[in-house]
Structure 1
């Protein structure tokens, strides 16, 4: 294993501790198969709603190897590119910065979900969020790209 690969393998994706209960609901109600999937969805929602929120306290981070190299990692890079409009964000030496952007949008997305979620009907609430997104013009999502 190269030093560069080892360095990236050491990366952990933080989970905002303030949303542990929400992630637990998603898991118990089988809405998402994993916390990783919930974070990817939340990051895309956070980006769409332009809710990027930093956080200090993290639960057990998710190892990078859990994230799919063909879908999740390119999404993390693309999110960072869309946020910064800086093509260098697509390089390995900027990956930790890209991860921070992903984490903060995931936190923002989880905060948005929390603001509209009825815990008794979590799946229905998420379906309503997705329906709302379908009704908006998603073609302009990356208009400034």
Structure 2
């Protein structure tokens, strides 16, 4: 598949600040695909979905095959199915591009949320762990069935 997952230009520097490499030893994620997949899950969790306005040149769009090789194609499919409310994403009439667009929108929304939450943080890893821990222990009385009691 020649499809590529794109990142919005206004999130590019934030995404680059999250990547772990020799220039950025404080980074959290090993690959851009990891960042985008995590952001898409966050976007779905908080129902933040926003279209991309300007496509970033750096980091360049990521091949869909990278997401498949890391097992994120399941996440892409589930997000598309829940967003569309049907299985049309598996049709041969352009369903693939629809699910890519939905995934990009959730990732963009999730990146916006993460960027807002991590603003001012010196150590992104510590702040992100605090956010995840807060979410883990968040008791939401509107939940019908709370699985956290089994942890």
TM-score (norm 1): 0.81
Deviation at 1:69, TM superposition (A): 4.7
Are 2:40 and 1:48 equivalent residues in the alignment? no
CA contact (8 A) 1:78 1:90 kept: no
1:34 is matched with which residue? Answer: 31
Aligned to 2:9: 17
Structure with more strand by fraction = 1
**Corresponding residue for residue 79 of structure 2:** 79
Larger radius of gyration, structure 1 or 2? 2
Following superposition, the deviation at residue 25 of structure 1 comes to: 1.3
Deviations 1:72-102 (A, max 9, x none): 1121011111112112223454111001000
Cα distance, 1:131 vs. partner? Answer: 1.6
TM-superposed CA distance for 1:129, in Å, is 2.1
Find the counterpart in structure 1 of residue 128 from structure 2.
126
Q: In 2 relative to 1, CA 90–75 (structure 1 residues): closer, same or farther, beyond 3 Å?
A: farther
For 1:120, what is the secondary structure of its paired residue? coil
Bigger drift between 89-98 and 47-56 goes to 89-98
Gaps spanning 5+ residues in structure 2: where? 20-24, 147-151
**Deviation for aligned residue 1:132:** 2.6
Gaps spanning 5+ residues in structure 1: where? 1-8, 141-145
TM-aligned CA deviation for residue 50 of structure 1? 0.4
* Richer in helix (by share): 1
SS at match of 2:62: strand
Residue number in structure 1 paired with 2:149: none
2:22 alignment partner in structure 1: none
**How far is 1:116 from its partner?**
1.1
